[in-house]
Amino acid sequence: MRPRLLAGFLALLWLPCVAQRVPTDVSISDLSLHPGKFDARLVRVRASLIVGWEGDNFLIDPLKPRPKTMPSRNPPSVWVYDLTAVKAACDPQTVCLFTGRFHFVPKSRMQSVFDPGPLQLEVVSTSVSTQ
């Protein structure tokens, strides 16, 4: 009985570790509609990159019209941390898969002019989407 109980306990401890290593496939709309559900989770999103200067870099849904200026909250956009992992594989004209840790920051504490908004992605890898 004890070996089975121990095996069950170890399986329960192991499952969350495995789940965190496999990203959840989401869309920009999913992140915008249910940000709390994906907060602090590893996600993979198919998106287009909009590159600004001084850190205003955003991901948008590739099926939505591309805004002429930097995106506001409509259509939904996700601010991207540090572009070093992104620029090598994806340029603004390409649809890519972005994998990273999603953060929902409902109230910004930034005291600067630039406000990245509540939807933020810490990208860890990027690849060109084949779809």
Q: Please count the other Cβ atoms lying within 10 Å of the Cβ belonging to residue 116.
A: 19
Q: pLDDT at residue 31 above 60?
A: yes
Helices (H), 1-131: 2-21, 28-33, 35-38, 84-87
96 or 84: which carries more pLDDT confidence? 96
The reported pLDDT for the residue numbered 111 is: 60
Calculate ∠ Cα 108-111-114, nearest 5°: 75
39 or 127: which carries more pLDDT confidence? 39
The reported pLDDT for the residue numbered 38 is: 97
Q: pLDDT at residue 6 above 60?
A: no
The reported pLDDT for the residue numbered 81 is: 79
The reported pLDDT for the residue numbered 67 is: 72
Interval 40-45 mean pLDDT: 97
Name every residue whose Cβ is closer than 8 Å to that of residue 55 and which is 6 or more positions away in sequence.
114, 116
Q: Domains in the chain, ordered, with CATH?
A: 23-128 (2.40.50.140)
Tokens of 127: 């690849």
Q: pLDDT at residue 12 above 60?
A: no
pTM: 0.75
The reported pLDDT for the residue numbered 4 is: 60
The reported pLDDT for the residue numbered 46 is: 95
Residue-wise burial string across 53-68, b where 16 or more C-beta atoms lie within 10 A, e elsewhere = eeeebbbbbbebeeee
Listed residue (70, 74, 75, 81) closest to 105, CA to CA: 81
